[in-house]
Amino acid sequence: MTRRLSIPAFLSTFVLIVTCFISTAQAIDIKRVVSPGGIEAWLVQDTKIPLLAIKFAFKGGVETDPAGKEGLANLTSTLLDEGAGPHDSQEFQRRLADNSISISFTATVDGFYGGVETLVETQDEAFDLTRLALTEPRFDEEAVERMRRAVLTQIRRDQGDPDFIARRALYETAFPDHPYGKRARGTAESVGGITTDDLHAFVRERFAKDNLTVAVTGDISPEQLGPVLDRLFGALPENAKVQPPADTTPKGAGETILVPRPQAQSVVLMSEPGVKRDDPDWFPAYIMNYVLGGGSFSSRLMNEIREKRGLTYGVYSYLVPFQHAAMVMAGGSTANQNAGKMVELMKEEWRKMRDEGITQAELDDAKTFLTGSFPLQFTSSEAIADVLLQVQRDNLGIDYLDRRTALINSVTLDDVKRVAQRLLDPAALLTVVVGKPEGIEPTRTMDDVPS
Amino acid sequence: MIEPLRRLIAAPVVASLLLISAGGTVLAQDPPKTADPNVTPNTASAPATPAAPLQAPETATPAAPRKGVFFPETFTLDNGMQVVVVTNQRVPVITHMVWYKVGAADEETGKSGIAHFLEHLMFKATDELKPGEFSRIVARNGGRDNAFTSWDYTAYFQNVAADRLELVMRMEADRMANLRLTDETVLPERDVVLEERRQRTENEPGDKLSELVQASLYVHHPYGTPIIGWENEIQKLTRDDANDFYHTWYTPNNAVLVIAGDVTVDQVRPLAEKYFGPIAPRPVPARVRVEEPPFGAERRVILRDAEVRQPSLRRLYGAPSYNRGKTAQAYPLQVLSEIVGGGATSRLYRSLVVEQRLATAAGTGYSPDAFDMSVFGAYVSPNPGVDMDKLEAALVEQLEKVVNEGVTAAEVETAKTRMEREAIFARDSLRGPAMSFGVALTTGRTIEDVEAWPERIAAVTVDQVNAAARAVLGQANPVTGLLLPAPVREAAAGQAGQPSPTPSAPPVSGTSGMIR
């Protein structure tokens, strides 16, 4: 469909084009498209391959599950493509498979994400199935019980996974009275109690135009996309009913929690309060983290603990910027007899970073990596759409990709030192160790994480 | 549908999950980025690599379209090193990969793990570079680098801006010829590999079972030895072992350079001639692995582990690959796998999960990408309370039904259409094409084989599928692997997390896509 003069202005698709340099050599055009019905999406048009990736998200994720119904968002995410409108589960899945359409839904912290990948030749079917999944999911008993069994199975399987156990122990300690401390999949009990009414209510209340974000990459013009947006999302209600949780600060400072497990290797996980994405210190913290443990073989943790001492296959740190809390975390695994040594070495790097900051060479290297590697992720339609979606969700502005390099390059040594002193305190780390570690003096032992 | 299950059913993931093919599993030096799932925004669904080379572009041009998938260009240097270039100008970025035609299955008996250990050591010093400097220089130039090892190949790659091609090529050529190992760098790295083994295998009952099943499937052929090596043998690997392996196999005539991205063959040729060209070729041993003797017995491997919360079951049958056995069956077997176990509409999922309600997940996996023979595997995870014998009987019943009654022509047509359509998606990345050519050219296939994949799938007939099903699933000597919870001990009984007889899907984590 093209824009024609005979169509009243309010029915046409609005397009704004912003050119962003994602590297010195590469600019991409991001088009802000507003559909006749008022739905906004960011588009990167690419006609080289006849396919299309659409990514979208609704604000509010697993943390907004009602008390006692933990796991509702996750269970819903497994069921939207298990029958909708006139199609039962097998028919819906057959249409997806036969047309090579991939529809996915994921409930995570702070957001409920969806995605569609389709060839242009089958896009009409893809649009119809996606709309049905969002607006008319059936929640037939057979499908609900089948997916409930699958989720319960995953919950059980998680209980044998040392990495999962470490995360559970840490999150439950850091957020004892906040939904962030709850398990995204819910518990066997809460998932067992979710009813079809709960599922329908979730869809009714949570999918709406006012909490929707959309990003598209692929072989579609802005003028074609406008009506498609209305076709996909136009039937959603205007307003969502979501109660976001309160802002909070992670607890458990200085605690060392041991979860004994009969395994060959100890898994270590640590955390401290961090910075949210909108914090003015975000980029200094981002660079600090890169040098500390975010930069793989270029990082201090990897160099000290793996390269120099051979104590681990992997040790890393990362920032966790939730909407209502933030953490800086670090983790890794090592043979049980070396667990105490590894925790000490990690804390020592924490201390060194706080006391001394980073060197000019480290700052320069971090900047060239963090700016230079950015375009590497723009190599598939899905990945480009993911970036566009996240930039919108983080409210960074449509010119963000253009400004990003300058934001990173403006960080100074003093900025990094300031943020390191603000964030890092080895004595205040919350530490979790899962396994049969030697050299660890726990402040608390958890026999098991609750199922 | 539960997302991990769907992706689990995707061929490459299942391949490694079941360890069903030499090509399906890789080990590597770098740990996976254990990003916190709570932060990763909905990107978990991207499969690491496309399953197979895929279909030609749907061209709008009515004039006879070129047949192919990725349309690469290729040439060979005077020293025998083949170069493949896949131009893709979406962003000014390239994937630069050097593949060696050597893997764990080429190791000497008693030296298991040396191929993978050497892969780690390739990041140590050369005459030009200090230990660890390779990766730091790549990072300083805004790039990411890594490497991985399989039974049949070892590959090194860098993802960088297109204008850094010369830099990474110079460094990659340097370490092809000038690796300098010292005990000071080798010995701590051996500890790293032992930690990697603990993390991957010892801490993961599902992966431990995979290793044991693989060892039972191949009683003589080196595919029965884990890529990472047996722990007792890794402990004894030395600098000399690494040097011997390096000097035996790492030569330009035993390597393939694959570059995908914003670069043309005319740009690549002079650089390849400048950096790789001067490296002198050396004779390389023939890759003659011992043959697996006919083994008429059915085998069962049962692993009971206290950390298993849910059982799972897998059943593996020896099968031809693209390169060994009845290779013509490699294409019909891919179609068969799609029909029997490819996704939520497959026979196994429909029967065992939807209709009989015995399982939470069920599917098959088959990848013909191997220098020697391959495997056709089926897996199933029981619903809570379902007896494992009953589950196994139901799985076998479905497989026997395929052998005895065959699949229908309609099923074959639908599967082929799906596979051909899926094809276009493979072009939507740089890594996909680079992986496809790297695997093919190190496992005895050609560029033409990759490019002809859609045509060969399209040519598969229902009779071929049924003949292949009878030949493979009709064999009387499958290997069955069972992952079961350890029996409850009195002392532990009554504790939290009581081990009910409750089952699960196979481990989602597998080793797929893990690199360096």
Spell out the domains of chain B, with CATH numbers in brackets: 17-30+69-275 (3.30.830.10), 299-494 (3.30.830.10)
What pLDDT sits at residue B80?
98
Give the pair of three-digit tokens for residue B269. 């040729």
CA distance readout (Å), B165 to A21, A110, B97, B170: 21, 40, 11, 9
Residue B90 banded pLDDT, cuts 50, 70, 90: confident
| Residue B515 confidence (pLDDT) above 80 | no
Q: Which residues of chain B make contact with A158, given a CB cutoff of 8 A?
A: 309
Helix residue ranges per DSSP H, B291-408: 330-341, 347-348, 388-405
Q: By percentage, how much of chain B surpasses pLDDT 70? A: 82
The pairing of beta strand A444-445 with beta strand A326-335: unpaired
Report the distance separating Cα B47 and Cα A305, nearest Å. 31
Comparing CA positions, the residue from A112, A256, A89, A334 lying closest to residue B198 is A334
Give whole-number Cα distances, B461 to A101, B44, B328, in Å: 25, 36, 12
Q: Which of A42, A256, A331 is nearest to B199 (CA)?
A: A331
Place of tokens 């093209």: A2
pLDDT tens-digit readout, A258-268: 999 988 899 99
CB atoms < 10 A from the CB of B267, how many? 16
Residue range B17-65, pLDDT digits in tens: 232 333 334 555 554 433 333 333 332 233 333 333 333 333 333 445 5
> Mean of the pLDDT values across residues B382-408?
97
> Beta partners for A74?
none
Look at residue A264 in the predicted model and tell me its pLDDT.
87
From CA A233, how far away is CA A131, in angstroms rounded? Answer: 7
Pick the CATH number of A28-233 from 3.30.70.1280, 3.30.930.10, 3.30.830.10, 3.60.70.12: 3.30.830.10
Query: What was the pLDDT predicted at B27?
Result: 54
Which one-letter amino acid corresponds to residue B292? E
Residue A411 CA from chain centroid, whole number = 25
User: Could you tell me where the DSSP H helices lie in B96-219?
Assistant: 114-121, 133-140, 165-177, 183-197, 205-217
A162-171, A272-281, B127-136, B491-500, range with the lowest pLDDT: B491-500
Nearest to A200, CA basis, from A134, A266, A150: A134
* Residue A211 φ/ψ, nearest 5 degrees: -120, 25
pLDDT value of position A132? 98
State mean pLDDT over B455-475.
97
Helix (H, G, I), strand (E, B) or coil at A387: helix
Q: List B residues 293-312 in contact with A (Cβ-Cβ < 8 A).
A: 306-310
d(CA B94, CA B88): 9
Q: Are strands A430-435 and A212-218 parallel, antiparallel or unpaired?
A: unpaired
Q: Kindly indicate the confidence band of residue A24, based on its pLDDT and cuts at 50, 70 and 90.
A: low
Residue B377 and residue B24 in contact, taking contact as beta carbons nearer than 8 Å: no
Q: What is the pLDDT of residue B6?
A: 25
Q: Does A94 touch chain B (CB under 8 A)?
A: yes
What is the value of ipTM here, to two decimals? 0.90
What confidence category does residue A20 fall into, taking pLDDT thresholds of 50, 70 and 90?
low
**Cβ-defined contact of A159 to B429 (cutoff 8 Å):** no
- Nearest by CB to A104, from B3, B131, B196: name it: B3
Distance CA B344, CA A102 (A): 12
- What pTM was estimated for this model as a whole? 0.88
Q: Which residues 388-417 on chain A approach chain B with CB closer than 8 angstroms?
A: 389-390, 393
All CATH 3.30.830.10 domain ranges of chain A, comma separated, are: 28-233, 256-445
Q: For B41, which of A22, A111, A368 is closest by C-beta distance?
A: A111
- How far is the alpha carbon of A153 from chain B, nearest alpha carbon, in Å? 5
Q: In this predicted structure, what is the pLDDT of residue B66?
A: 65
Minimal CA separation from A350 to chain B, in Å:
19
Q: Is residue B493 very low, low, confident or very high in pLDDT (cuts 50, 70, 90)?
A: very low
- pLDDT tens digit sequence for B157-209: 999 999 999 999 999 999 999 999 999 999 999 999 999 999 988 888 889 99
Residue B409 burial (CB count, 10 A): 12
Residue B295 pLDDT: 85
Say if residue B105's pLDDT is above 80.
yes
Q: What angle do CA B153, B157, B158 make, to 5 degrees?
A: 180
pLDDT score at A26? 66
Q: Which two tokens stand for residue B346?
A: 């497959």
Least confident of A47-51, A81-85, A193-197: A47-51
Which strands form B374-382's sheet, in the order they lie side by side?
A: B299-305, B479-485, B312-319, B374-382, B359-366
Taking only residues 181 to 210 of chain A, the set having a beta carbon closer than 8 angstroms to any beta carbon of chain B reads 184
With CA atoms as reference, report the closest residue to A376 among B236, B144, B488, B448.
B144
Res B309 pLDDT > 90: no
B191 CB neighbours in chain A (<8 A) are 309-311
Give the pLDDT confidence score for residue B440 in this predicted structure: 97
- 3-class SS at A76? helix
Query: Rounded mean pLDDT of B471-492?
Result: 82
| CATH code of the domain made up of A256-445 | 3.30.830.10
Q: Does A163 touch chain B (CB under 8 A)?
A: yes
Q: Distances from the Cα of B295 to the Cαs of B221, B320, B371, B475, in angstroms?
A: 12, 16, 20, 11
Per the annotation, the verdict on B119 as an active-site residue is yes
